[in-house]
Structure 1
Amino acid sequence: MNPCPQDEFRPQSAVVISTTVVVNIIWWMVMIAAIGVGLTNLGHCPLQPNIPIYLIVLGASSLLSLSLTYTRSIWQDGCISILSLTCTTLLHLFTLSWFIAGTTWVYPVYPPNYTPGVARYCQRTTYQFAFIVTTLVWVTLSLVFVCVFCFGLLTCCKTVTARRRLIPSRNSFYGAISEEPTAGDV
């Protein structure tokens, strides 16, 4: 028995598939780089020692949640599917919470001093990588929320406009205008 019959798949455009693949590959590379930068500079940011740890945990949790998201489609029914969905959801929530915590570590120390031995020292690559990744994620999240808000507003406006056309007025019968004379016509 085939667990994924062909008629259950929705056709998708090549642009959507290509964009999704490219964005996922870029995100995988960035998160692997985050783990690498965090590990190589673990003790090199005394100003905020949580920044390298933030990069390591963000990278690992993002890669794990992406992996679970990809493999979740394998298990479509049963207890394993529910367990996989639960783990994926909890991991996404943890990653979001960790990202917010990392934001509180990265932004308040801006700009650090990149000269070793100074009181406000943080290794340049570590801090700039954390700052750029955090900023890009915030910009992306903001754009997603703006697009969702605009889509919702557009949907509401179309619904209100369509409803106005669907509700019969006093002189119409479900959109047909009556030919009865009014008091002013006589």
Structure 2
Amino acid sequence: MYLPIHVQDRPQSAVLISSFVVVNMIWWMVMIAAIGLGATHLSHCPVQPNIPIYLIVLGTIHLLSLSLTYTRKNWGDGMVSVMCSTLTAVLHLFSFGWFFAGTFWVYPVYPPNYTPEAFRYCHKTTYQFAFAVTTLVWVATSLMFICSCCFALLTCCKTVISGHRLIPNRYTFYGATSDSHEPAGGDV
């Protein structure tokens, strides 16, 4: 398998690779379960009939997206890789919109009645699975947003604290750490 130079030179820790594999396997299982639950209980949620459909489409989109990602990695740089990347981007955009639609289907009916004869009925396992997956994705998204903001804030603070050393002037190239105000070429 071909890897770019910068990726080949960077050592990957066994813990990082193992964690990635475990998280991927768990996500595959969750998405397969979503498809199975949605398909099995397709007509068992009259309070919001879109919830089983939400699970089926969500699972299918994510499994297809993961499969395309693996296909792209295995084919290297070529037309197949470009097509897989493009299709994956389209699937991610659709998944983003579908997730918001699922949020508006799952949360407003909370808590549904789990008794089949009731008016606001939804199959218990199907609804709770949809609720849990939607909530976990919201929590993960929120954590990533908070971590990104903290990283940006720390980067800004580090830049401000380091002062003028990281800001180029007419005598230095970007990133120079010299405090000297002499021209970069010596005696010019």
- Assess same fold via TM > 0.5: yes
State the Cα deviation string for residues 121-162 of structure 1 (Å, max 9, x = none).
111011000001100110011001111110111111111111
Q: SS at 1:120's partner residue?
A: coil
TM-score for the superposition, normalised by structure 2? 0.83
Q: Are positions 1:72 and 2:77 aligned together?
A: no
TM-score for both structures, normalised by structure 1 = 0.84
Query: How far does the alpha carbon of each residue in 1:70-121 deviate from its partner, in whole angstroms, 9 at most, with x for none?
Result: 1211233232222111101001111111111100000000010111121111
Return the letter of the residue paired with 2:155.
T
Aligned counterpart, 2:152: 152
| Number of residue pairs matched by the alignment | 169
Q: 1:160 and 1:6 mapped to 2: Cα distance?
A: 34
Give structure 2 stretches of 5+ with no counterpart: 168-177, 182-188
Write the distance in 1 (CA, Å) between the matches of 2:110 and 2:179: 64
Deviation per residue, 1:10-33 (Å, 9 max, x gap): 321111111111110110010000
Q: Is the 8 A contact 1:42 1:52 kept in 2?
A: yes
Alignment correspondent of 1:51: 51
Q: Structure 1 121/156 Cα, relative in aligned 2: closer, same or farther at 3 Å?
A: same
Q: Percent identity?
A: 66
RMSD: 2.0
Contact 2:72 2:85 in 1 (8 A): yes
Tell me the amino acid that sits aligned with residue 128 of structure 2: Q
Corresponding residue for 2:21? 21
Q: Alpha carbons of 1:41 and 1:79: their partners in 2 closer, same or farther (altered >3 Å)?
A: same
How far the C-alpha of 1:166 sits from its partner, in A, is 6.1
Report the alpha carbon displacement of residue 48 of structure 1 after superposing the two structures with TM.
0.2
Q: Quick one: which amino acid aligns to residue 18 of structure 2? A: S
Residue 180 of structure 1 is matched in structure 2 by none
Counterpart CA distance in 2 for 1:142 and 1:155 is 20
Pair member with larger Rg: 1
Between the aligned partners of 1:81 and 1:35, the Cα distance in structure 2 is 27
The answer on whether the counterparts of 2:116 and 2:122 sit within 8 Å (CA) in structure 1 is yes
Is the 1:166–1:174 Cα contact (8 Å) retained in structure 2? Answer: no
